Structure 1
């Protein structure tokens, strides 16, 4: 079942897609990612959630990472989610996150912060492995599961669950 969160808590927005989780096209998978840091820099964690066009969970991950800033944690969450996709042979992916800096960096291939450049280069390399991808900024309300997983991971919790059918194989081109 697809969860929708149409309220934006004090913000005005005309784009309902930005505040509600919307399914990807059939044949595509959606990666929602988030990074969190207690203290900024501080104990950090990442969260990733993968769902199909029916809104069915195909995987989720919470991973505690080194002491970092929230921006670095966000970029690492995106990178690790993409690595999981490419290791499973996924060809079409929609990426959504609630940090505009990360999404805009992927779209424009430039960053306001040089410390994130190496991570951006690795993200772009992973994105080049997909036949097609889409990156979109969403508000936290559309990213709640990934947000919750990243916060759980800041306490040192690591968890990972992937559906067997998420191991997709495609015929060779």
Structure 2
């Protein structure tokens, strides 16, 4: 038996194939990105910092964590800062972290956060319009040259989990807190996972 295919019978097959190709391309674009916290070099201290704001300019808090080349917890901090935007919270978290850098005499410091806009402002010396933001940025730009070596990088939130957790803790605090040598219970597992090089997948 001979079966003849007309143009009309081929079109649905072509459409099906085109749809499958589109789905395949979409899945490639949505492929997960592996993210892991990275240890600093020997002799360096790494600060991961984060800010949190509930709403456009709601209740805000900051947090950060310092670790050495062995991924050992050195110091953590968290604080509620009243009402502020997420941008102000992020820059306030970095500023507070740098104040602690000076207090502890660390000279070779790696600063890492998950808010790329702020990282670009610091690294590329970009201008900011907000007077409050400018005050924080000016203080940061005064502190960084005081350090022997300083590296500033962006990391996805999945690689900034310890700082994010400390910033969340900050929402619950009545006054600023600093933890030395031993992290708060809520951060212990994250610190251990980071030290072991745990990879967290980031979905695009």
Q: What does residue range 4-19 of structure 1 map to in structure 2 within 5 Å?
A: 13=33, 19=35
1:74 aligned counterpart, secondary structure: helix
C-alpha displacement at 1:114, in angstroms? 3.1
Find the partner of 1:163 among 181, 187, 193: 181
Structure 1: state its 5+ residue gaps: 1-9, 165-173
Q: Using the alignment, how far apart are the partners of 1:39 and 1:155 within structure 2?
A: 16
* Corresponding residue for residue 20 of structure 1: 36
* Corresponding residue for residue 135 of structure 1: 152
Q: How many residue pairs end up in the alignment? A: 151
Q: Using the alignment, how far apart are the partners of 1:46 and 1:72 within structure 2?
A: 10
Residues 11 and 102 of structure 1: is their aligned pair in 2 closer, same or farther, counting only changes over 3 Å? Answer: farther
Deviations 1:64-116 (A, max 9, x none): 11200010000000000011011111110000000001111111111354342
1:110 aligned counterpart, secondary structure: coil
Q: What does residue range 25-44 of structure 1 map to in structure 2 within 5 Å?
A: 25-44=41-60
The question of whether the paired residues in 2 share the 8 Å contact of 1:44 and 1:67 is answered with yes
Q: Using the alignment, how far apart are the partners of 2:84 and 2:62 within structure 1?
A: 11
Q: What does residue range 92-103 of structure 1 map to in structure 2 within 5 Å?
A: 92-103=108-119
1:128 aligned counterpart, secondary structure: helix
Q: Using the alignment, how far apart are the partners of 1:58 and 1:33 within structure 2?
A: 14
Q: What is the root-mean-square deviation of aligned Cα atoms in Å?
A: 1.8
Deviations 1:93-147 (A, max 9, x none): 0000000011111111113543422211111111111001000000001100101
Find the partner of 1:61 among 70, 77, 92: 77
Structure 2: state its 5+ residue gaps: 1-29, 183-204
Q: Using the alignment, how far apart are the partners of 1:98 and 1:47 within structure 2?
A: 12
Q: TM-score, normalised by structure 2?
A: 0.69
Q: Which has the higher helix share?
A: 2
The question of whether the paired residues in 1 share the 8 Å contact of 2:44 and 2:109 is answered with yes
The question of whether the paired residues in 2 share the 8 Å contact of 1:36 and 1:44 is answered with yes
1:47 aligned counterpart, secondary structure: strand
Q: Using the alignment, how far apart are the partners of 1:143 and 1:70 within structure 2?
A: 16
Residues 11 and 78 of structure 1: is their aligned pair in 2 closer, same or farther, counting only changes over 3 Å? Answer: farther
C-alpha displacement at 1:156, in angstroms? 3.4
